[in-house]
Structure 1
Amino acid sequence: MRHHFEALQKTRANHVPLSPISFLRRAENLHGARTAVIYGDVQRTWAETATRIRAVAGGLAELGVQKGDTVSVLSPNVPELFELHFALPLTGGVLNTLNTRLEPETIAYILDHADTKLVIVDQELVPLLSKAFDLLGRPLPVVEIVDPAVKGESLGGQTYDALTEATPLPIELPDDEWDAIALNYTSGTSGRPKGVVYHHRGAYLMALGTGTAWQMPPYPVYLSVVPMFHCNGWGHPWLMAMLGATVVFTRNPAADRILGAIRAHGVTHFGAAPIVLQMLAEAESDAAPFDPAIRVLTAGAPPPPSVLEKTRSMGLDVMQVYGLTETYGHISQCLWQDDWDQLSPAEQAELQAQQGIAFPMVEEVTVIDRNSDTPVTRDGVTQGEIAIRGNTVMAGYYKDAEATSKAFEDGWFWSGDGAVLHENGYIQIRDRLKDVIISGGENISSVEVEAVLYRHEAVQAAAVVAMPHDKWGEVPCAFVELREGAETTSDEIIAFCREHLAGFKAPKVVVFETLPKTSTGKIQKFQLRDRAKAMDL
């Protein structure tokens, strides 16, 4: 029997590249009169924001930014960084948001590895960029974000405001939805950070899936807390254009600023690391709970149940989500189940800390036994590795085909996180397979910290493990074996690490001893982990 389906063709009428750029066109046309951004005294509508974005894109094009060029941005969460999530894709360029908490050495490495053509920097962070340029051995062209309310320095570059005077570019979709839209670097869990490439298709689907999973209505008031250097703010900048949201910026995510912005602007949604939730819980004491409740996504280390109990009483409806840089951010959610209503607050909080089930735009998130290549039993006990498949998995690692191939073995992306599956299909992380310490929502590579310790002249051997911490969840604890005859102190070791690492990566405790080793000389970290867990800081 002959079928005629194969005669049907893709045309411009029935097949359009998926890209979050299309959300900007919709926002400009449909939500033009609505407020798009609020930052201090600055308020702009979606029509004004879209005009600025198209002009900035034109200005970047005049500076020579073309398809495939990487532009790195070093900035806190301010409207300019939000605009660049659309302006750079309009040029065909690739957005590389730099973690503002990194040390100059790593920033220099990223600028070099990413083949950065231009750096856009907030003037408050010029000193950090200058140090990175010194280590890089060369300056790069710079555009500076000037905030009149903040004292900053200048490298003499063109200002961001000057870009807004350029001839606007039209809103046009990419030729291919597989084109790169962003380049995000991991926290370097096995040495140097890897460059993770996002494409337009994934960014588009990330926004759609998040809006559905979070059950978001049109016109939310969204507080920009999640750093946009973390997985492009979990894809939320693109989502907010789709929904016609009002995006509120505080620049600094201090508890008083967050709470003040929530009450001043009627915030309905925000995302935050567990450490931020803890800060809010400690800062808010006698105030009446938010009503209606504010919807909150949290990711990183699972929030302590005590924090979830407190935030619930504050009127924060918190949902735990899970993801990685390689998956555009969150790809599973701990969706509330009706039968949880009958449980105690403590029991509810325990369940809320699970990593949950796949977001709707993700094909599959499961836990696989690597020995048998089959999903583990849904018994909440049998451990395996979280494996992910779907359109919001990275295109690959930039300039690292070997690592890409390894990450995609057998048709899955392997997370490196050990977990169990519960009877209802919910995933729960039991232990990380990589030696990663999650402190205040930031990933810290024990390998990276150990590498610095080994550079100290008094250190013979070193091992870094996670140590529980009331505020940060966990922090690095260093076990150090000194060279024969060498002397040093904990304070000296910590100060040495802070000279070569971002402050949050430096050990908070240093223990001097002969390290436990196997017969082949390998340090037995499991013994050290058990001892660090028993410590109290």
Structure 2
Amino acid sequence: MDVPLVLTHFLDRAVTLYGEKRAVITEDREFTYRELNSRVNQLSYGLRNLGVEKGDRVAFLAPNTVEMLEGFYAVFQLGAIMVPLNIRLTPDDYVFILNHSESKILFVDQDLYHLIKPVKQKLESVEHIIVHYKNEETNETDYNVWLANQEGSAFKRAEIHENDVCSLLYTSGTTGKPKGVMLTHRNNYLHALSSMHHLRVTDQDIYLHVLPMFHVNGWGAPFYYTANGATHICLKKATPENICNAVKNHNVTVMHMAPTVLNSLLQYFAVHTPSIEQSVRVVIAGSAPPPAFVKRVEQELKWEFIQVYGMTESTPLSLISTIRSQLSDLPMEEQFSIKAKAGYPMIGCDVKVVKDDGTEVEHNGKEIGEVITRSHGVMKGYWKNEEATMETIRNGWLHTGDMGTVDEYGHIDIVDRKKDIIISGGENISSIEVEGVLYEHPAILEAAVIAIPHEKWGETPHAFVVEKNKGMVTEEEIIAFSRERLAHFKAVTGVTFIGELPKTASGKIQKMRLREEYWNTETTSGRFVN
């Protein structure tokens, strides 16, 4: 008889093989895998007592905590569906997502309760709100008190099939209302097996939760690190200082984060020079960093840099940039360039870069096309949105909306989002390439490039820049710097200095907001670009 690929197996395995090992360490508590499992059972009993049944949606609005981690497995035991919420949305966003998903129960961290309180009356399906770390002023159910009153013995699970939806993840909604991505047990299970192989996950790993668990389940961290009996370090606030202290104090061996977060760590290390002796792997996804950035991480921090690529709709990972054995003799500078790319397909993933007519681009690192993938991780579809599902998944292939090239070794390099490609005088310009050059300037801390209108060329690149120290560089100097290092049509034609780049909770730069800010400034100033 076939064993169904359901995610509850992963915690079962950890309890059987690593029951007395430390599973989770928080700021003031720690639990073994056996203790974590007991808490999961208590939560499952509590949810069942509240009327949660198979297929019901249970939402969590929380940072990286043990309460968030145990929520996945407790919800799964009921055959219910986990709805992790982005902690950086507005109250109205939560109204839409909770009502659209028809979530029955909402767990919320006390620090985030202020986002729910003003819109409680607008929640149409939520029957109970339960608060983690509740204070005396909040008039809701206290999670710890409620959990302590639940039974902790083995829980009789619902009958779960591998193609059942296990999680409903809402995309950021930068172009309209968020869409709920339906991922199944099978999606996450097979993705975990592939990812744990490529990321070399073992029971000796100590994993620091930097990337939020609501971000595609923190790239599967609740699954494949648990399956291997690794230790989870939960960090509610991922500041550079907190990350550094956790890495040092807990001998952390692996972290996942966005490039912007890693950049902030580089700045922190440059000032504080902490001593970290253990080997550390840092897994990065998002905009491709320049090779110089990879070099700094590996030579200054002495950490192994692993670039990956994926999206929520593919569970998420499809590509990885580690150096294959036949390329290990290449010069180090070329290896850094390869590591900065999105990479080659992971096991179980087919990935192509295609032109508008569907044919593949030449493997010359120059011809640009859209990245498409088919794999065990491709979503079941968008929740209650068949039209968007059919638009995204065509002939079995997930169309990512990302534009890329393929080099002679078969490595895919993401050059931009389809909507972020700058077309100037008929030439395609990658905003990521321009940003990579700007990051080489010693005065620039962060940079993002967007397209702005130009009377002659149609569009030209415009940079938003965060300085390391205010007043260190002028707009003219940055323009000249980019013209020295890029073909002139790719160079920036203007610069806006900004205190901080707008980012998602996972650290991804929100270019939509930069475009809005640019247009608002231009409209109010009465200026135009020529």
TM-score (norm 1): 0.77
Contact 1:61 / 1:91 at 8 angstroms: preserved in 2?
yes
Corresponding position of 1:518? none
Taking the aligned partners of 2:114 and 2:283, their CA distance within structure 1 comes to 33
The answer to whether the aligner puts 1:398 opposite 2:383 as a matched pair is yes
Displacement, 1:155? 3.6
Corresponding position of 2:71? 84
SS at 2:521's partner residue?
Answer: strand
SS at 1:235's partner residue?
Answer: helix
Corresponding position of 2:312? 325
CA offsets 1:61-104 (integer angstroms, 9 cap, x no match) = 11111111111110000010000111101111110110001111
Distance 1:302 1:131, change over 3 A: farther
1:511 to 495, 516, 521: 521
Displacement, 1:242? 0.7
The answer to whether the aligner puts 1:358 opposite 2:342 as a matched pair is no
Displacement, 1:154? 1.8
Taking the aligned partners of 2:202 and 2:124, their CA distance within structure 1 comes to 49
Displacement, 1:133? 2.8
Corresponding position of 1:67? 54
The answer to whether the aligner puts 1:302 opposite 2:288 as a matched pair is yes
Corresponding position of 1:188? 173
Corresponding position of 1:123? 110
Displacement, 1:431? 2.4
The answer to whether the aligner puts 1:420 opposite 2:405 as a matched pair is yes
1:49 to 11, 36, 40: 36
Corresponding position of 1:154? 138
Distance 1:141 1:284, change over 3 A: same
Taking the aligned partners of 1:331 and 1:232, their CA distance within structure 2 comes to 15
Contact 2:79 / 2:160 at 8 angstroms: preserved in 1?
no
Q: Which letter does structure 1 place at the counterpart of 2:201?
A: M
SS at 2:395's partner residue?
Answer: helix
Displacement, 1:139? 6.6
Q: Which letter does structure 2 place at the counterpart of 1:377?
A: E
Q: What are the equivalent positions in structure 2 for 1:337-486 lying under 5 Å apart?
A: 337-338=324-325, 346-362=333-349, 364-371=350-357, 373-435=358-420, 467-470=463-466
Contact 2:354 / 2:370 at 8 angstroms: preserved in 1?
yes
Distance 1:189 1:293, change over 3 A: same
Taking the aligned partners of 2:6 and 2:333, their CA distance within structure 1 comes to 42
Q: Which letter does structure 1 place at the counterpart of 2:143?
A: T
Taking the aligned partners of 2:119 and 2:287, their CA distance within structure 1 comes to 30
Taking the aligned partners of 1:344 and 1:288, their CA distance within structure 2 comes to 30
Corresponding position of 1:215? 200
Displacement, 1:141? 1.7
1:291 to 265, 277, 293: 277
Taking the aligned partners of 1:152 and 1:315, their CA distance within structure 2 comes to 46
TM-score (norm 2): 0.78
Corresponding position of 1:520? none
SS at 1:402's partner residue?
Answer: helix
Q: Which moved more, 1:289-298 or 1:252-261?
A: 289-298
Distance 1:514 1:347, change over 3 A: farther
Taking the aligned partners of 1:167 and 1:109, their CA distance within structure 2 comes to 34
Distance 1:219 1:158, change over 3 A: same
Taking the aligned partners of 2:326 and 2:509, their CA distance within structure 1 comes to 43
The answer to whether the aligner puts 1:206 opposite 2:191 as a matched pair is yes
Distance 1:116 1:159, change over 3 A: same
Taking the aligned partners of 1:223 and 1:244, their CA distance within structure 2 comes to 14
Q: Which letter does structure 2 place at the counterpart of 1:184?
A: L
Contact 1:419 / 1:431 at 8 angstroms: preserved in 2?
yes
Contact 2:104 / 2:125 at 8 angstroms: preserved in 1?
no
Taking the aligned partners of 1:389 and 1:301, their CA distance within structure 2 comes to 21
SS at 2:201's partner residue?
Answer: coil
Taking the aligned partners of 2:306 and 2:294, their CA distance within structure 1 comes to 9
Distance 1:503 1:331, change over 3 A: closer
- The number of residues matched between the two structures is 453
The answer to whether the aligner puts 1:165 opposite 2:152 as a matched pair is no
Q: Which moved more, 1:204-213 or 1:376-385?
A: 376-385
Taking the aligned partners of 1:471 and 1:336, their CA distance within structure 2 comes to 33
Distance 1:422 1:503, change over 3 A: closer
Q: Which letter does structure 1 place at the counterpart of 2:344?
A: I
Taking the aligned partners of 1:323 and 1:357, their CA distance within structure 2 comes to 12
The answer to whether the aligner puts 1:39 opposite 2:26 as a matched pair is yes
Structure 1 portions without partners, runs of 5+: 1-13, 447-462, 473-489, 495-501, 516-526, 532-537
The answer to whether the aligner puts 1:93 opposite 2:77 as a matched pair is no
Contact 2:99 / 2:124 at 8 angstroms: preserved in 1?
no
Displacement, 1:30? 1.1
Displacement, 1:350? 2.7
Distance 1:16 1:399, change over 3 A: same
Q: What are the equivalent positions in structure 2 for 1:128-277 lying under 5 Å apart?
A: 128-133=115-120, 136=123, 140-146=127-133, 154-168=138-152, 169-170=154-155, 172=157, 174-277=159-262
Distance 1:415 1:318, change over 3 A: same
Contact 1:419 / 1:427 at 8 angstroms: preserved in 2?
yes
Displacement, 1:385? 1.1
The answer to whether the aligner puts 1:334 opposite 2:344 as a matched pair is no
Displacement, 1:337? 3.5
CA offsets 1:392-447 (integer angstroms, 9 cap, x no match) = 110000001111112111221110111111121111112211359999xxxx9x9x
Q: Which letter does structure 1 place at the counterpart of 2:355?
A: D
Displacement, 1:265? 0.7
SS at 1:71's partner residue?
Answer: strand
Q: Which moved more, 1:252-261 or 1:424-433?
A: 424-433
Displacement, 1:132? 3.7
The answer to whether the aligner puts 1:110 opposite 2:97 as a matched pair is yes
Q: Which moved more, 1:201-210 or 1:345-354?
A: 345-354
Taking the aligned partners of 2:314 and 2:157, their CA distance within structure 1 comes to 26
Displacement, 1:370? 3.0
Q: Which letter does structure 1 place at the counterpart of 2:55?
A: G
Taking the aligned partners of 2:361 and 2:290, their CA distance within structure 1 comes to 26
Corresponding position of 1:27? 14
Displacement, 1:258? 0.6
Distance 1:124 1:347, change over 3 A: same
CA offsets 1:309-344 (integer angstroms, 9 cap, x no match) = 222121211111111110112221112235665666
Contact 1:145 / 1:161 at 8 angstroms: preserved in 2?
no
Taking the aligned partners of 2:395 and 2:462, their CA distance within structure 1 comes to 31
Identity of aligned pairs, percent?
A: 31
Taking the aligned partners of 2:353 and 2:148, their CA distance within structure 1 comes to 48
